[in-house]
Amino acid sequence: MNILVCIKQVPDIEKIKVDSAKKVMIMDGVPNIVNQFDTYALETAVRIKDADPATKVFVVTMGPAQTKDAMKSCLSVGADRAYMVTDDVMNDSDTLATSYVLSAAAKAIEAREGVTFDLILCGKQAADGDTGHVGPQLAEYLNYPQITSASEITVDGGKVSARRPTDEGAEVVAAVLPAVVTMSQTAYEPRYASVKTKMAANRAEIPVLTAADLSLDAAGVGLAGSPSKVIKTFVPERKKGGLKIQEETGELSAQKLTALLSDAGVI
């Protein structure tokens, strides 16, 4: 079985600080990492390979040259082959344009490698935009069924079944392969790289595909191919941190809080 995992490199949002005077995010020194949910997707793929060594795991990312680091990191934790899609014409693509590019990339990689992907895994959402659009939109471009937000999957008999949350609890849904599944957090943690796997990943050849390699329709990529436009971004007004109460005992603190809440009309 062949699995393609879509990987996005994102800033580590835990390390973003906000300059509340200037009302901007401070991105200097914030490291880029593989989107957390994508690491769960990759680990899930590699576990399928562990159980069935005939499986091959491919990863792909669309992004600038520095996303090579993300690809190396994926190769060091079990991906067999990594592809980058890098081309300035793709700058400023929205999720629709990104999915279009990734669908073309999936086809191109299949042709180059002489494989067909049975399963395409994405993260549930990327930590920068938090949209969660690319998985379903990629599924639409490829005309595959989709399952979103899975926490556990099994592949059997030409189908993938996945456990996903619902507003009432959870459900297990099966989809006919080939399918796109987006992964939420799993019960297991992604594995770590070893010195040896890191060195091997450093030596690996990572092919770079351009728009020309994918025979894309230029009207469908970049700003021109993006119906969603970001008009502006701003740092929201943060509450300044309110009143902190620390009386001698918990009881006194609780009484003080209750009085304050009552005066303020909160309760």
Partner 1 sequence: MSDYKNIWVLIDIQNGQAKTLELLTGGRKLADAVSEKLVAVVIGSGTDAAVKDAVANGADQILVVDGADYADYSTEGYTYALEQLAGKYKPAALLIGATISGRDLAPRLAARLKTGLAADCTDLEIDAGTGTIQWTRPAYGGNELAVIETPGARPQLGTVRPSAFKRGEPDTARTAEIIKEDIALPAGTIRTSIIERIAEVAEGIKLEDAEVVVSGGRGVGSTENFALLKELADLMGGAVGASRAAVDAGWISHVAQVGQTGKTVSPKLYIACGISGAIQHLAGMSGSDVVIAINRDPDAPIFEVADYGIVGNIKDVLPALTEAIKKLKA
Ligand X SMILES: Nc1ncnc2c1ncn2[C@@H]1O[C@H](COP(=O)(O)O)[C@@H](O)[C@H]1O
Stretch 24-43 residues interacting with ligand FAD (CB under 6 A): 36-37
Both tokens of 115, joined, read: 């494989």
What character string, x for contact with ligand FAD (CB under 6 A) and - otherwise, covers 176-215? ---------x------------------------------
- The H-or-E segment that residue 184 falls in is none
Q: Which is nearer to ligand X, 76 or 132 (CB)?
A: 132
Number of residues that make up the chain: 267
CA gap 68, 126 in Å, rounded: 18
Q: Are 41 and 148 in contact (CB under 8 A)?
A: no
Closest C-alpha among 126, 88, 124 to residue 8? 126
Closer to partner 1 at the Cβ: 64 or 136?
136
User: Residue 90, exposed/middle/buried by CB under 10 A (0-12, 13-18, 19+)?
Assistant: buried
Residue 78 or 178: the one with the smaller Cβ distance to partner 1 is 178
Report the nearest approach of ligand FAD to the CB of residue 12 (Å). Answer: 10
Taking CB atoms, the residue at the shortest distance from ligand X is: 123
Q: How far is CA 158 from CA 47, 166, 172, in A?
A: 18, 25, 16
Closest CB 99 distance from ligand X, rounded Å: 8
CB closer to partner 1 out of 192 and 234: 234
For the bound state, the minimum distance from the C-beta of residue 206 to ligand X, rounded and expressed in Å, comes to: 14
Residue 199: CB minimum distance to ligand X, A = 25
Rounded distance between C-alpha atoms, residue 70 and residue 60, angstroms: 10
| Beta carbon of residue 109, minimum distance to partner 1 (angstroms, whole number) | 20
Binding site for ligand FAD (CB under 6 A): 36-37, 185
